[in-house]
Amino acid sequence: MAKAIQEREIGLDLFAFLHGEVYSFVTRTGTDPEQQSTKLRAMGIRAGQVLQERLNLEAPRTQDEVDIVRFVCRDVWTHLYLKQIDKLRTDNKGAYYLIDNEFCLIKQVSDSMQYLRDLPLFLEFTCGLIQGIFVQFGISAIVTPEVTHPPMCIFKVQIHNVK
Amino acid sequence: MNPVCIAIISNENSPLLMQTSTAYKSSELDLMFLAHSSLDVIEEKLTVRSTGVDQRELYLGQLYPTEQYKIYGYVTNSKIKILVMTENTSQNIDQEVKTLFKQLHRSYAQLMYNPFYQPGDKIHFPSFVKYIEDILK
Amino acid sequence: MSQAQGKISKLFAKKHKSVGALDSPIMSRGPLGRQENRPKVKEVLVTYSTEENLFRILKPRLEAELCKQSFVDDQYKDGNVSLLQCKIKFEKFAPETYEKFDTSFFNHNKFLFGTPLIHLFFTSSNEISWYNRSTKNDIKTWLMALEQFGYDNWILVHVTQHASTLRKNALSNINNVINTIKEDIASTSPSSAKKFYQLTLPEKGDQATEKHYDGFITFLFTTMKKYFISQTDRYETLLSMTREDQDKPLWNFFHYFLMQEQLCFAYEHMGMYQAALLAYDEIDAMLHYLIIKMSMNKMKKSRWFETLQHCCQEVLLDYPHITLSLDQSHDPSLENKTCSLFKLRSVIFERQATLLFILGQAWDVGQRALKLLKDLSEESSSMQLPIPTGALDAWSYLMCKNVLDVILDQLSNNPLNPLKQFAIELTPDRPGPDTLGPSQWVVRAQLWHLQLNKLHSLGQISGFISSKVGTAAVMDDYSTETETLKELWGSMSSNDPSSSALDLLNVLSSRQTFNRAYVELAEQLIGALKHAGRKRMAMHASMNFAKFLLAKKDLAKAQDVLTEACKLYYSDKWPVLRLNSLSLLAASQDSKDNPPHEYLTTCLLLACTLPILNSHSQERFFHCFKDRIDSIAKESQQEIIPIQFSLLFTVNCISYAKSEWEAGDVITLTLSLTNKAPADILIDSIKLAYQGKETLLSPIANIPGYWTRLYSYTSLDEIPKDTRLGERSRSRRKISKTYSQDSSNFDFYFTAKKVTLVPGENNLVLSTKCRIAGTYHPDDLIIEFSSVQFRHSTDPRPSGSFPTEEIEVVPSEAKLALSVDCPGGFLLAGKPSEVTLNIFNEGKTIILCGSTITLSSSQLLILDVLSGEYNREGECYQITLPDIKVKAVYQVRLQVRCDPEALKPENILAESKMHSSISEGDNTMIRRVPIDVELPKDSLYTLNSSPGDDTSCGCVLQLTATCNWVNKKAHHNYGAVIPLAFYLPFKCKYDLFSSGDVSFVKLTLQSTTPLPILLRDMKVKQTSVLKSLMTCDQLESLLHPGDVMTLLYQVDKEFNPVLSQICQLLIQYSLVGQEETILEHSFRFKLHDIQSMFILTSQIELSDAVLKKDQECKLSINIKNIRDLPRQWQAPMDDIVVVEYELRCENGNWELGEEIHGSLRLQPMKNASEDLKFRIRPLTHGQLPLPNLFLTLKSYTWNNTSSYITAQFSDTSSPADVPYTMIPLTSVQVYNSTASMVVPIHSDN
């Protein structure tokens, strides 16, 4: 059991590493930051779609968007980052705030403010991932990262229209 | 249970894949019509909170009776609809169908991993088609 | 009478009323005359044993209240239990009348109601002594009897008066009694303590006791119910026991059925309909199970099974009628256990239906009906029932119809439907028909769907519908089949004329009826499905319907259905289905009276949809398309069918050779379009039209005058004859639209004819000229072949589908123009007139501020610049231009003058020598202009006042403009030669006449201008010489173009004939329209030789009276000096004037003899005369003028003095040596007196 967990942690580390590489690759190749972010986000969305399908094999039918958000907070997060979202807030106007106190992908980033400028771009993939999951659920949502004190990290999910 | 036809239908109700067992190739068109019309029932079942059937269940059970076939439906959380049509037998085959659906869903999820597959496209990967055909044999 | 009974009797009443009423569907159904339709009222036995008088008090109230009892019992089969349908029958307790309780009596249906539901014992003994004495024993014996028969459903009641009516001590006694009774009972059996009840009779208006009493009633009821339920339980155990040995050979299903039904009835009576329904469902399921099992030989077939199998010949006799009835009688066949499967089934179904209706679940009936039919077909097929073909179909058809009728009848608030009324009374708050929403429509749809299927197969059997769609039905087998059906139903329909079977019969009786029924049913079905919100199913149904319609050639309707279908399948992205429906649609549209473009469109849709269709069928459809359009082209006189462009073609892009063209150049572009058709297309024409963005009417279009394109000098000689801008704008090309509502025309278009488009991408290179500058965008693309036209602009143009690359056609060069301001727009020679120089910037050449135009005029053109800033260098004006915006005009006012005065007089003379008429002097002088100004020849020409008259009356001078901006291509400046036309006001002529010694001058003016001229005054300067003979001098007269005016003057006698005098006619005139400005025109002419010197007199000397033709005669001419001849005429030496003479006859009337000329020596003095004689002969007859004699003076050139000298020194010198010149004497100098004389000549016979 402990072994399994350990393996998964290794897997997570690899994932984080790969993610970082992808980020640096994209930022190196593309010059225009706009296009860079869209590229990353696109990757994320695709991944999200796959993940949604994968994780929903056994899951029950989702009734409403809250289910989906919960799904993201619990299943997706645990599946990817071996932990759940720490806090979930919502204004009841279709916006959800997923708060991860120590988001593992930016764990290494010291909370000194030097990277704050780059972080949103760095988190594009993850945002895309969340977005992709929503897309696959048939809900169009816009996900934006808010990082003030890394590695604490907030994903804002703005849901547009519930189909 | 001997399935006659398996259809995977996208969330916009367009067919992604539709395979008919060789024995029924002749009546493929009718089957297609049936598949298409059964979308109505699926939509009903998804929207109308009908009592009795478990709403949390992805498996929708038999959709509607026809004289030759039984049509079973399954809708994933991504609104992908899977249809299985079997010959019209008196015995209850719900369980088998259910397991078949799970199997299909799983393989669809696997398909999503294929980097060359864009969600919402028609499925014509020989391996996948072959896999479906084997089920229909 | 109790309330419950009241209700029931109401039902009766209704019932009886409704028996007569035929309009109640339930009445009219039921072929076996089952008119009973109401819950039967069962008698429930209740025994009592007590002293009569006491019971008499109790009975009525008990009866009433017990029947009212009813309450939901949850723990037992969730049915609510009531005695509503029961009537309490009280009997005195008589144990011997009841059988002993054992299983045997379950066999007949008295198992519940044959035995009393409860046994009562009332006592009112209030004295313990009295109780012990008698009552005690009574109770004991009673209990004994009960026990002996095994009944434990008894209650012992102790009745007491109301407390108020009792004496003080009585109460305590009563309590004693009660206690002792309790003890006694308890002693017998512990449980029975509960079965004692102490009842105090209620007083009027005493709530407490009333409640107490009600409590008693419920107590009774519950005990009864408990007993009832225990009974049913027993019964069920029994049933299950019998069910156990179902595979025993003797076991009979009918038997079992009847048994279970008893139970159901029992439930019904107790109002436990749910329970009853469940029981029936059990039977239903069991039957199905058994049949399948047996027919699949999983189980040995038993007798009842065979009976079911065999007795189903007259299957259609027991076709379904759901007769909603709580009546429990059976028709005999069931009772004696020989009935067909169908019968059995329908019986069971009826029961279920009835119960469902009572429970208010009307639509479930429909569901169950479907299930039933499904099972039934399954069963009958597995049992291989020997039933005629189509019988089962008919059966199910009727079933559906029937069921739906019944349901609707139930839901309709039909007062004549007692069952409904009853059900409502049972459960007042049942859902109405519409509260179910779409689900009910689903049920309807399903029923109709099944019905339709059945009808379809029936139709196939009877040959109305052939199994293959489209081909005509086969008629012969129709007759046979319906015959069998007929005879099958003949019997039954006879005894029930209004049966729905009969309807089915005449539906199948003829094709028309069948079709009608089919259509009606199909439409119902589709409608219902749509109601239910199942649009796709509806579409499926309507596809089948469409097939049917196609088969029966109802094309119009089929089309509507199919087009709808196409839409849906398209939006749902099911291409295969869409194509399927499309091909059907094509079939439906393929008819003459259908607008052809629909068919064509469909064909194209099919032909051009890749790649679902295989290429073969694609080509097939494309050929359909082609054949059709060809046939159309043949038959109809060339009406063009418009078809959506995008069906067959897509425009990929338009690429231009370059981005910018100069006006007038040939524009070349490459149009790449895709041909989606699977085959080559030979198109007749393709037109790509361009539309300009803004209006192209440039401001100069309305400025009069000749517009001259600025050319570089090298190309000066190719100045266009007419470059009027108006012409240009008129020379726009237009597309004549073969088919279009809007008649907008295009600025220009590209076109190609007879092009073959291969499948896939094609690149066409098109080219055309554009004459007007502007920005153009492709506006319209038309492809035509055979009889169809593909117009792009008729599509609702989606963005990007049609390329919008624009062409920029830039103007060629800036333009110059002179516009003449005077009226009539012509210039008068000699009159200074104002003109405007327009400089128009077309936009290509940027005319910067400060750029200049240099104007130089030809020599005789006097030029002045009136406006604008300029500086003059000799003859040239350099005009500095401001910044001229694009499409803007800059105007400079000029004054031009072509001045005759500027010419020297000798020019005139020289000219006059040239042309023997002075009067043309003006012209000739102007005619000389080009000689000394270098100008290309062709640029100068004279204007002719009137055709045929070659004498010119005006001229064209030229203004040469030079610009200082440079043509980048050919590196030289621009310039232009602007022609200016000047007119002379008049053409003048001068003639001299003399009569002997008097001479006259005749002057003729002819106006040549395009405008009339107002003559103010005409004067001859030399009035001393010439005297006007007319008084027209002061007269103001209007001279119209071409008019001629003549003036006559007499030459003064004193005028010295030798001198010659130049005279001048001054004409003051003004142009009509501007009378205030008086213009002058001077006409010079020369007077000379105005005196007559000689006078000729000629006469014929006749030999006889008359002169005949060809008769020679003598002509004698006398020459006489009128006055002394001038000195210088005389020959030197001798003073004789030598005159050479010559006789001429222009008209050739006379033959002249020899020596017709010679020289004549004349005396210079006055009146000297000479005679000359000639021999002449007239060649014709008539009045002939005489030949004329011409004189030439031989004048010796010498001056007097010197001549004399020479004469003195050289006398010998002959006169011949003296040089001389011959001067011909004019007609004025030689006055022929007989010029007008004629001689009569007679013909020679």
C436-450 pLDDT, tens per residue?
566 777 788 888 888
Average the pLDDT over C383-407 and give the result: 76
Q: Two tokens at C179? A: 């206690």
- pLDDT > 80? residue A79: yes
C1209 neighbors C973 (Cβ within 8 angstroms)? no
Q: Which of B83, B90, B91, B124 to mutate to test the interface with C (most CBs of C within 10 A)?
A: B90
Q: What is the pLDDT of residues C399-442, one digit of tens each?
A: 788 788 777 777 776 655 666 666 666 665 555 555 556 677 77
Give the percent of chain C with pLDDT over 90. Answer: 0
Question: What angle separates helix C500-507 from helix C391-411, to the nearest 10 degrees?
Answer: 130
Band of residue C617 on the pLDDT scale cut at 50, 70, 90: confident
Interface with chain C: mutation pick from B33, B38, B89, highest number of C CBs within 10 Å = B33
**C-alpha span between B113 and B120 (Å, rounded):** 14
Inter-chain residue contact C534 with B90, CB threshold 8 Å: no
Task: Give residue-wise pLDDT tens across range C769-803.
Answer: 766 667 777 777 888 877 777 777 644 454 456 66
Nearest to B37 among C374, C378, C540 (CB): C540
| Res C33 pLDDT > 50 | no
Identify whether the C-beta of residue C672 lies closer than 8 Å to the C-beta of residue C787.
Answer: no
Element (DSSP H or E) covering residue C543: helix C535-551
| 3-class state of residue C926 by DSSP | helix
Distance from CA of B128 to the nearest CA of C (A): 20
- Cα–Cα distance list, C1019 to C994, C1040, C1066, C1084 (Å): 22, 20, 5, 12
Q: At C439, which helix (H) or strand (E)?
A: helix C438-461
Which of C374, C573, C576 is the closest to B32 by Cβ? C576
How large is the average pLDDT for residues C540-553?
84
Q: Do A52 and B58 touch (CB under 8 A)?
A: no
C821 has which bridge partners? none
Give the chain A residue nearest B47 (alpha carbons). Answer: A63
What mean pLDDT, rounded, does chain A reach? 84
Q: Which domains does chain B have, with CATH numbers?
A: 3-136 (3.30.450.70)
Q: Considering only CA atoms, which of C20, C85, C5 is closest in space to residue C416?
A: C20
d(CA C1024, CA C1021): 9
Number of residues written out for chain C? 1245
B34 touches chain C (CB under 8 A): yes
Q: In Å, how far is B90's CA from the nearest CA of chain C?
A: 9
Two tokens at C783? 């492809």
Check residue C331 and give its pLDDT.
64
| Lowest mean per-residue pLDDT among C91-100, C228-237, C1211-1220, C1221-1230 | C1211-1220
Nearest residue to C379 (alpha-carbon basis) of C336, C340, C350, C406: C340
Partners of C889 in beta bridges: C840
Inter-chain residue contact A49 with B55, CB threshold 8 Å: no
Q: Measuring CA to CA, which residue among C1157, C1154, C1149, C1152 is closest to residue C1179?
A: C1149
Residue C731's pLDDT is 26
**Predicted confidence band at C388 (pLDDT cuts at 50, 70, 90)?**
low
Show which subunits contact B, needing at least 3 CB pairs below 8 angstroms. Answer: A, C
Higher pLDDT among residues C613 and C381, named by residue: C381
Q: Between residues B127 and C992, which one has the greater pLDDT? A: B127
Whether A and C touch (3+ CB pairs < 8 Å), yes or no: no
What integer pLDDT is reported at residue C877 of this predicted model? Answer: 83
Q: Which residues of B touch A50 (CB under 8 A)?
A: 109, 112-113
Rounded to whole angstroms, the Cα distance separating C531 from C637 reads: 48
Sign of CA dihedral C917, C922, C925, C926: negative
Q: Of the given ranges (A77-81, C20-24, C387-391, C1092-1096), which has the lowest mean pLDDT?
A: C20-24
The region of weakest confidence among C18-22, C182-186, C189-193, C194-198 is C18-22
Look up residue B96 and give its two tokens: 């088998």
Closest CA to C415 of C873, C61, C10: C10
Distance CA C359, CA C80 (A): 11
List the domain boundaries for chain C: 40-245+263-268, 642-697+735-810, 815-983, 986-1088, 1094-1242
Contacts of B87 (CB under 8 A, 6+ apart): B2, B4, B68, B69, B70
Place of tokens 């008359």: C1106
Report chain C residues whose CB lies below 8 A from the CB of B52: none
| Chain B residues touching residue A136 (CB < 8 angstroms) | 77-78, 119
CB contact under 8 A, A49 and B56: no
- Give the best-scoring range by mean pLDDT among B17-31, C180-194, C472-486: B17-31
Residues 52-91 of B with CB under 8 A from C: 64-65, 67, 90
Q: Stretch C1142-1147: mean pLDDT, rounded?
A: 80
Q: Is any Cβ of chain B less than 8 angstroms from the Cβ of A131?
A: no
Q: Which of A45, A49, A61 to mutate to test the interface with B (most CBs of B within 10 A)?
A: A61
Neighbors of chain C with 3 or more C-beta pairs under 8 Å: B
What is residue B6's predicted lDDT score, i.e. its pLDDT? Answer: 92
- Angle between helices C303-310 and C341-358 in degrees, nearest 10: 90
Q: Is the pLDDT of residue C848 over 60?
A: yes
Residue of chain A whose Cα is closest to the Cα of B108: A53
The DSSP line for C846-892 is: ---TT-EEEEEE-TTEEEEE-SSEEEEETTEEEEEP-PPPTT-EEEE
Q: Does A64 touch chain B (CB under 8 A)?
A: no
The answer on pLDDT for C748 being more than 80 is no
> What pLDDT does residue C730 have?
27
Contact A136 B78 (CB under 8 A): yes
Q: What is the pLDDT of residues A37-75, one digit of tens each?
A: 888 899 999 999 898 888 888 878 877 788 888 888 888
* Top CATH class, A2-162: alpha beta
Mean pLDDT of B55-72: 82
Q: Which of C441, C535, C574 to mutate to test the interface with B (most CBs of B within 10 A)?
A: C574
Any chains having at least 3 CB pairs less than 8 A from chain A are B
The winner for highest mean pLDDT among B51-55, C450-454, C487-491 is C450-454
Q: Do A59 and B102 touch (CB under 8 A)?
A: no
C40-245+263-268 CATH choice from 3.30.1490, 3.30.70, 3.40.50, 3.30.1220: 3.40.50
Look at residue C1012 and tell me whether its pLDDT is greater than 70.
Answer: yes
**Which tokens sit at C309?**
């199998």
Please name the residue of chain C whose CA is at the shortest distance from the CA of residue B17: C574
Look at A61 and B55 and tell me if their CB atoms are within 8 Å: yes
Mean pLDDT, residues C687-692: 76
Of the two residues C772 and C1039, the one the predictor is more confident about is C1039
Query: 10 Å Cβ neighbour count for C1151?
Result: 13
SS3 content of chain B, % helix, strand, coil (to 5): 40, 25, 35
Distant-in-sequence, close-in-space partners of C323: CB < 8 Å, separation ≥ 6: C26, C29, C30, C34, C37, C350
State mean pLDDT over B46-68.
73
**Chain mean position to CA C738:** 16
Task: Please state the rounded mean pLDDT for residues A99-119.
Answer: 77
Q: CA C368 to CA C288: how far, in whole Å?
A: 14
b vs e for C761-792, b when ≥16 Cβ sit within 10 Å of the residue's Cβ? ebebebeeebbbbbebebbbbbbbbbbbbbbb
Yes or no, beta carbons of A59 and B55 under 8 Å apart: no
Tens of pLDDT, residues C508-529: 777 788 888 888 888 888 888 8
How far B85 CA lies from chain C's nearest CA (Å)?
16
- Class for the domain spanning C815-983: mainly beta
Contact state of B78 with A138 under an 8 Å Cβ cutoff: yes
State whether residue C393 is helix, strand or coil.
helix
Q: How many residues does chain A have?
A: 163
Residue C966 pLDDT: 62
Q: What is the pLDDT of residue B101?
A: 92
**Closest residue in A to B113 (Cα–Cα):** A50
Chain B hits for C576, Cβ within 8 Å: 29, 32
Q: What is the pLDDT of residue C1203?
A: 41
- Tell me phi and psi for residue C1011, to 5 degrees: -110, 150
Out of C381-390, C543-552, C659-668, C738-747, least confident range: C738-747
pLDDT at C1209: 42
Residue C925, classified by CB atoms within 10 Å of its CB into exposed (0-12), middle (13-18) or buried (19+), is buried
Cβ atoms of C481 and C462 closer than 8 Å: yes
What's the confidence (pLDDT) of residue B81? 92
> Is C111's pLDDT higher than 80?
no
Nearest by CB: C453 against B34, B41, B67: B67
Put simply, the chain C residues between 443 and 472 with a CB less than 8 A from any chain B CB are 446, 453
Q: Which of A103-112, C83-92, C562-571, C1132-1141 has the highest mean predicted lDDT (pLDDT)? A: C562-571
Q: Hey, what CATH topology would domain C642-697+735-810 get?
A: Immunoglobulin-like (2.60.40)
Cα torsion through C305, C307, C308, C310, rounded to 10: 120
Task: Give the mean model confidence (pLDDT) for residues C134-143.
Answer: 76
> What average pLDDT does range C370-391 have in this prediction?
76
Question: Does the CB of B53 have a partner CB in chain A at under 8 Å?
Answer: no
Is there a contact between C726 and C817 (Cβ–Cβ < 8 Å)?
no
Residue C564: band (very low, low, confident or very high) from pLDDT cuts 50, 70, 90: confident
Report yes or no for ipTM above 0.85.
Answer: no
Task: Find where tokens 């290309």 sit.
Answer: C936
CB contact burial A47-66 (16+ within 10 A = b; e otherwise) = bbbbbbbebbeeeebbeebe
Two tokens, residue C178: 């009660």
List chain B residues with CB under 8 Å of A54. Answer: 109, 112-113
3-state secondary structure at position C72: strand
Asked if residue B81 lies in contact with residue B41, where contact means CB atoms within 8 angstroms, the answer is no
Flag whether residue B107 sits within 8 Å of chain A, measured between CB atoms: no
Percent of chain C at pLDDT above 70? Answer: 60
Among the CATH numbers 3.40.30.10, 2.40.50.140, 2.60.40.10, 3.40.50.300, which is that of C986-1088?
Answer: 2.60.40.10
Residues of C in contact with B9 (CB under 8 A): none
- Tell whether C315 is within 8 A of chain B (Cβ): no
Of C98-112, C537-551, C660-674, C1189-1203, give the lowest mean pLDDT range: C98-112
Assess A59–B contact: CB distance below 8 Å, yes or no. yes
Residues C366-394 have a mean pLDDT of 76
More confident residue, C129 or B80: B80
Let me know if the fold of C642-697+735-810 is the same as that of C815-983. yes
Percent helix, strand and coil across chain A, each to the nearest 5? 55, 20, 25
pLDDT at C113: 59
pLDDT score, position B84: 92
Residue A50 distance to chain B (closest CA, Å): 5
Could you tell me how many CB contacts below 8 A there are between chain B and chain C? 51
Q: Check if the beta carbon of residue C1061 is closer than 8 Å to that of residue C1083.
A: no
Residues 6+ away with beta carbon under 8 Å from C532: C438, C439, C441, C442, C444, C445
Q: What is the mean pLDDT of chain C?
A: 68
**Helix/strand/coil (H/E/C) assignment for every residue in C326-389:** CCCCCCHHHHCCCCCHHHHHHHHHHHHHHHHHHCCCHHHHHHHHHHHHHHHHHHHHHHCCCCCC
Interface test with C, best of B16, B17, B37 (most C CBs within 10 A): B37
**B58 and A61: CB-CB below 8 Å?**
yes
CA C1227 to CA A32: how far, in whole Å? 109
Asked whether the beta carbons of C514 and C508 are under 8 A apart, the reply is: yes
Q: Which of A66-70, C728-732, C902-906 comes out lowest in average pLDDT?
A: C728-732
* Interface touch B77/A49, C-beta < 8 Å: no
Beta bridge partners of C1183: C1240
d(CA B132, CA C262): 53
pLDDT mean over B109-137: 87
Residue C122 scores a pLDDT above 80: no
Judged by CB atoms closer than 8 Å, whether chains meet at C370 and B32 is answered as: no
pLDDT band at A91 (very low <50, low <70, confident <90, very high): confident
Between chains, do B119 and A136 touch, taking CB under 8 Å as contact? Answer: yes
C737 pLDDT band, cuts 50/70/90, is very low
Q: Where are the alpha helices (DSSP H) in C202-340?
A: 207-244, 253-269, 273-295, 303-310, 332-335
Q: Are C103 and C238 in contact (CB under 8 A)?
A: yes
Structure tokens at C346: 């329908």
Q: Which residue has the tokens 């004859």?
A: C721
Residues C1213 and C1219: their CA atoms lie apart, in Å, by 12
